[in-house]
Structures are given as C-alpha cells and as structure tokens.
Structure 1
Amino acid sequence: MCLHTDPYAPPGSGDVGGMNVVVRHTCDALARAGHDVEVVTRWSDPASAREETIDGVAIRRLAVGPARSLPKGEHEGLMVDFGRALGELEPRDLLHSHHWFSGMAALPVARAWGVPHVQSFHSIAAPERTALSEGERPESPGRLDGEAYLAQHSDAVLAVSRAEALTALERLGAPPQRLTVVYPGVDPVLFHPADTRPAGRPSVLIAARLEPLKGVDLAIRALALIPPAARPVLRVAGGATADPGFGRSLLALADELGAAGDVELLGPQSRTALAGLMRAATLVLVPSHSETYGLVALEAAASGVPVVASATGGLVEAVRDGETGLLVPGREPADWAAAIGRVTGDPALAAHLGAAGRSMAQNRGWDAVGDVVAHAYAAMLPSATVVG
C-alpha cells in the first residue's frame, strides 16, 4: 500500500522520490520470481488508469479523496477512507504498507482479514528536540504516535538500513525479532559508467526534491567558496514539493554569493535521463540533513561516479568513505568545498572511487532485494498473494 504517492508515477516531482523507486523495483522483482503482487495506491491523476498491470504487477488505484495531487500532510485525513476502500477488496494473504499513512489505513484491515501486516517506513519523523529535527519534522500531527504504534503492532518491520532499524528499535519500540534490514537495490544496466569521462568543466550533480531536507543550500554555499577558476557547475535534478518558490530562493542565494552562473536547476527527470546525467557528472553530491539510506548514492556508484555525502543516517552505509566516495561530517560549507575540490581536482582519485563504486553496485541488483523481501514474507506465510 502506498496511500500518499503512486510508485508507478515518474520520479522527481512532488512527493515522488526514492520510496517510489524502491517499491516499484521490489514489486517488479517479486513478480519476476513468480509471486502474485498487487500495488494499491490512491487515484490522484485522472489521466491514469484505475486498474492496470505493468511488468507483471497489478496496480489498483482507489478513488479516495480528490483525483489530484495533494500536499503530503493532507493524506492523514484520508487514512480512514483509504482503509475502508481497501477493506472492501477481496482478502489477500499479506499486506505490506509503505509510510505511516498506509500503515494506519491497512493494519486494521489486516487484522480484520486475519493476515500478517508488514510495515516499511522509508523515513521516520524526528521529534523537534533531536538533532535530526532540521529539515525532517513530522508532516502531520499524528505521525510520531502513528509510527510508534505501527512499529510495535505490525507483524514485521522492514528497514532500508541499519540506521533506520536502530531508530525503529530505540525510538519507536519495534520488537527486535520483527526487524529486517532490506537494503535498496540498483539497476546496473540502466545506471552504468560512461564509455569515456566527459571533457571540459567538472560538474557536480544533486538528484533530489527541492526541499530544505536535501541541503541544496549547503551545496551552493560550498560551491561559492571554491575559486572561480576551479569551480565546477552544480546541477540539481528534481522538482519542488510543497513550496514552488523554493527553487527561486536557491537561485537567489547563488546570485547573492556570486555563483549565479554556476547553478542549474534542471527540474524533474525520468529514470533514463537521470542515469545520463549521472554518467556525465564528475561527482554526485548528497548533502541531505538526513537520509534513511541514500538510493542516489548507490545509483551514482553503479554509474561509476564518486559520491560526496553527509556522514549521517544510512548514507554511512551507502558510501564507503575513502573507497567509493567521501563522507563529510557536519555542515560547514568550507568542509564541503574542500571535499568537492578534492575530487573534482584529482581525476585519478575520482576514477579510483568511481571504479570501486561500480564494483560494489554490481552485486546489488533488485532481484536480490526481492529475494530478501520474499524470505521475510515466507517467515509469516509459506506462500502468499501480496498487496504492497
């Protein structure tokens, strides 16, 4: 279940991001392995079909709420109606919810059907008193309590990193025996190295939604500290979420710091276009305040491109510091500028980091992810028709 976002919508715009990629590719892998998989989401685009099958996965879009995109936080008010519509379907063997909106809608249905409920969070809200509160606050009033309830009452919790599993254990009270870490995968055919490294001016790519959590402002401040003669161009691939003016504020910041001609906002990108942008980049930057894993870092690695990322959350697991990229502790622009300059100014280092990343990513295909998820399901059911 994915109440607030459609996993089969194009990534990069609105609240369509890494979670959608993980859900879609995991479902595709389960279907390839012979499992019956159905994705249930909200009908938010009148141009989309209410029911269809894509790559062996059945997609069902429930007519709950208006048939248009909504701000993420407004979906809390749709949980009851979504659960009611879900409960009117024929019972499935297992329900797997993604994000807390879906879980709160689906858990009562799973109990009514007498089937297991699996919860994936993909991110966990931080109380305001914690260090993670900047850029990652609860989007809606019930999130903190709702996540704790789901962690404690679901039959299994699948986390995308050890960092997220630890948060679910320590902050949410998830029973340790119900926790399983399932790292995201990558398509090493789509995301592959360039035949030759691009010549000319170095470029830095950020692939992220335009929102404070992703730290694009930090990247601009760091870029401005690099002398113009050595300064790479910064390209940002991704659309705005709640604030359509956020992109303009980033460009204004670049202008204020004397880097207006060095920052390009490219907007949302298809998966194919994103893969091409990664191959063309000198490095991929992930300056987020927090990431439960950091799928972009793995996609960059598969593309043979080094990563410079925040030393926080699941990024510590996605990037092997000094081997596939560099991790930067803290948020001082000067530290980030030094890390960027170290990679863009040393082609041999960039090539070494990129080759090691590619080698790591080739063992992280989506079929392996599907196998881990299927094993987690099998611990609860010998065979299942799965609703994701």
Structure 2
Amino acid sequence: MIPLAFYAPLKSPEDPVPSGDRTMARLLMRALRHAGFDPVLASDLRSLDIRGDGVLQAEIAGRADAETARLVASFRAEPAERRPRLWFTYHCYYKAPDLVGPRVAAALAIPYVVAEGSRAPKRAVGPWGHWHEAAEAALDRADHLFVMAPQDREALDRARPPRQTITDLPPFLDAERREFPLGAAAGSTEPDRPSGPLRLLAVAMMRPGDKLASYRLLAESLARLGTESDWSLDIVGDGPARGEVEAAFSAFGDRIRFHGAVPEPAGLVAFYRAADLLVWPAVNEAYGMVFLEAQATGCPVLAGREGGVPAVLRDGETGFLVAPRDAAAFAGRLRDLTERPAILAPMREAARRFVREERSLDGAAAILRAALGPLAAGAVREEPA
C-alpha cells in the first residue's frame, strides 16, 4: 500500500455532523484504499469561512501556519517508507481553501492532488478575496485535479497550468456495503406497489440558505397540486432551520410526516425502499449524494436540473429532471406521477443498475489508480528556489 496524506479543509471525514461532504470524503478514502493507497487523515483543521470574515480568516491562517510546520516535522521524522508519497485534498474552493497541503507537499517534494476543486473569479474582490487567492494558489500548485462536479470543468480547464492534468471522477457510492445495499438482485421480481397515495420522500439537513430554499420550493410545488392529487410526504432531516421548514409545510396537515435526523444508514435505507419517489428541488446543489443513495436502493428521483445533479441520475430512466428553481415545472411532473404512478415501476431496477454499473466504488478506484499510480511512482517537479 502506498502511503498518502488525505485532507478535507471544508469538513473532516471524522466530523460528527452528517453531510454529503463528509460522506464523500469518507468514500474517497475508501476508494483510495481500494486503489492500492494507504490514506491517513493528515489534519482536521477546518478553513471554512461562510461569512467572509477577515478576522476569522487571519485566525485560521495562523493555525494553518502552525499545522503546516507540525506536519512537515512529523512526516520528516517518519521512516522513508512510511512518509506520504502523495498529498490528496478533497474540496478546495473560495470559502474553504487548502492552506496546508500545498506547503507540506512542497516541503516533502511530493505530488499535490485535489479532488473537487473549483474556481470562482467573481470572488477575487470582496470579503472572500484573500480566501479566493489562497484557493487559486492551491489549484495552480496541483499536479492533478479530479473533477467531481461537471459544472466546475470549464473554469478549471481554462486556468490549467501546462504541467497539470485534469481527470473526471463522477460522484460514486459504495453500494455493495451494508450502508446502502442495492436491494433486490438484478432480474428479481419487484413486489406490487400497494394502493394508496404516491409516497414521496425528502432527505436533507434543515439549515438556512440553499437547503431551506429547496424545502420552500418543494412546499410551493406541492401547494400547486391542489387537493385532487393523492400523495404523502416523509421528511427526514433536522437542523437549525427546522422551525422554518415545518412552517413551510404546515398547510398540508397529516400528509406530511417529520421524522427528524436518521443517522444510521439502515434507517435511511428503510425510508428509501418504502418510497415511490425521492423529491428534492436541489437549489444550488453541487450534485447531491442523496440522489445516489436513493437510486442504489431502487428509489427513483425527481430533482431540479441544477449544478452537477444531471451527472448523478439518468433523466427519464432512473428519475426525472425539471427546470431549476421552477415550482410550476416541479409540480407539473409530480402531478403526472400521481396520476400515473406505474411510470416509476421500471425505474427502480434501472436506478439500482445505474449506481451498480456507473457510479460504483470499483469504478472510482480504477480512475484513482490509473491517475495516481504514475504520480506516486515517478519523480515530481522541482519547486522553485
């Protein structure tokens, strides 16, 4: 196994608060092991600044200086065979730049790699100007970039230094493990759908910003259906905006059931399997791990066509995409499905097959192995004096 330093400046894979970002960090570490690497979490320093606070940025920068010095000394004290051969950073952008990895990689003369990095030129001026500069510097330094959100590709290609390589790494799921088993085996017979209302499901944290906007858009879409449409909605999630979310759905009475946070994967699987359709407008969503999780268990999805969401489902085959942030379009598709729920039946196996064949851990590991193997084995570029 090839030693590798792993770091996630936005949220550590060991953070206690569940999120899609934490899930993907953990999956990347698992895929790297599957690819023949031995990833060690180098640091849990979090560089996230959600407000554009210069004082906070200065404080984090000071901690990053100390963390960089600590890591360089620690790694240099290791026997040569145990020192990392690569530094791998997951998710670097203007609100959470990597202030540590580029300097440690330079000090150790090892390749520096970033997965899910993004460039935002419009943030060069303003409260995140300094953080934007740091994120750009890290991306410029990277020997290899993995693009996980397709919408990031154009800007990364445009600013790519000549020596840098860019590879697409579609979001993936380890659906063979117990967390999100694929459910019924391929070719098996699905049980008949019980009669009754269309069983809808939403799974998301309840926090201000884009998540709350998605909840409100979902509530508006349901209100457009009128009283003649037959449906029920289970909502799994919790957070500081729960009061606002409950208020948005208060008019629907017992059609809505709130279940709070469900941290155990087995509990989530039960909700996915019981649902006819996962519904989520996906306001400003990077791609949405929840869509892969639902499909892995055979639950089709309805989502807004925003960000990288089109990369994690097959429109018309494993679910449906509608115009982004368009309550009328979302409601129109929902109305059609309440009237013709049989449309969803063939999508259940198609959804499982999509995750199994096109978004698997094995596939991600193969991409990582092919890209990083030569980097780990070969010489790295020399740093300027």
TM interval, short-chain normalised: 0.7 to 0.9
8 Å contact 1:164–1:313 — kept in the other structure? no
Alignment of 1:304 onto 2:298: yes
Match 2:280 to one of 278, 286, 303 = 286
Match 1:24 to one of 4, 14, 26 = 26
Shift of 1:94: 0.7
Tell me which residue corresponds to 1:361: 355
Match 1:168 to one of 144, 152, 156 = 156
Cα distance in 2 between the residues matched to 1:377 and 1:33: 9
SS at 1:145 equivalent = helix
Cα distance in 2 between the residues matched to 1:216 and 1:122: 27
Of all paired residues, the percent bearing the same amino acid is: 24
8 Å contact 2:34–2:365 — kept in the other structure? no
Larger CA deviation: 287-296 vs 138-147: 138-147
Q: Which has the larger radius of gyration?
A: 2
Match 1:37 to one of 36, 39, 45 = 39
8 Å contact 1:158–1:179 — kept in the other structure? yes
- With a CA cutoff of 8 Å and minimum separation of 6, indicate the structure with the bigger relative contact order: 1
Match 2:318 to one of 324, 337, 354 = 324
Change (3 A) 1:39 1:277: same
The alignment of Structure 1 onto Structure 2 pairs a total of residues equal to 340
Q: How do residues 1-388 of structure 1 correspond to structure 2 at under 5 angstroms?
A: 1-9=7-15, 13=17, 16-42=18-44, 76=57, 77=60, 78-90=63-75, 91-100=83-92, 101=96, 103-121=98-116, 127=122, 142-170=130-158, 173-175=159-161, 177-189=164-176, 190-193=180-183, 196=191, 197=193, 200-211=196-207, 212-214=209-211, 215-240=214-239, 244=240, 246-255=241-250, 258-269=251-262, 270-363=264-357, 364-382=359-377
SS at 1:103 equivalent = coil
Cα distance in 2 between the residues matched to 1:107 and 1:326: 41
TM-score, normalised relative to structure 1: 0.77
8 Å contact 1:191–1:300 — kept in the other structure? no
Cα distance in 2 between the residues matched to 1:82 and 1:231: 56
User: What's the RMSD between the two structures over aligned residues?
Assistant: 3.1
Kindly provide the CA deviation profile for residues 138-185 of structure 1, in whole angstroms up to 9, marking residues without a partner as x.
995644333322222211111113322224334xx2348521111122
Cα distance in 1 between the residues matched to 2:232 and 2:129: 40
Cα distance in 1 between the residues matched to 2:236 and 2:122: 29
Letter in 2 for 1:36: D
Letter in 2 for 1:103: D
Cα distance in 2 between the residues matched to 1:122 and 1:205: 31
SS at 1:313 equivalent = coil
SS at 1:284 equivalent = strand
Change (3 A) 1:40 1:264: farther
SS at 2:306 equivalent = coil
Change (3 A) 1:249 1:322: same
Letter in 1 for 2:260: G
Letter in 2 for 1:237: V
Shift of 1:374: 2.1
8 Å contact 1:5–1:41 — kept in the other structure? no
8 Å contact 1:103–1:119 — kept in the other structure? no
Kindly provide the CA deviation profile for residues 66-95 of structure 1, in whole angstroms up to 9, marking residues without a partner as x.
xxxx98668851433433333232142111
Q: Which runs of 5+ in 1 are unaligned?
A: 43-63, 130-137
Kindly provide the CA deviation profile for residues 38-74 of structure 1, in whole angstroms up to 9, marking residues without a partner as x.
12342xxxxxxxxxxxxxxxxxxxxx69xxxx98668
TM-score, normalised relative to structure 2: 0.77
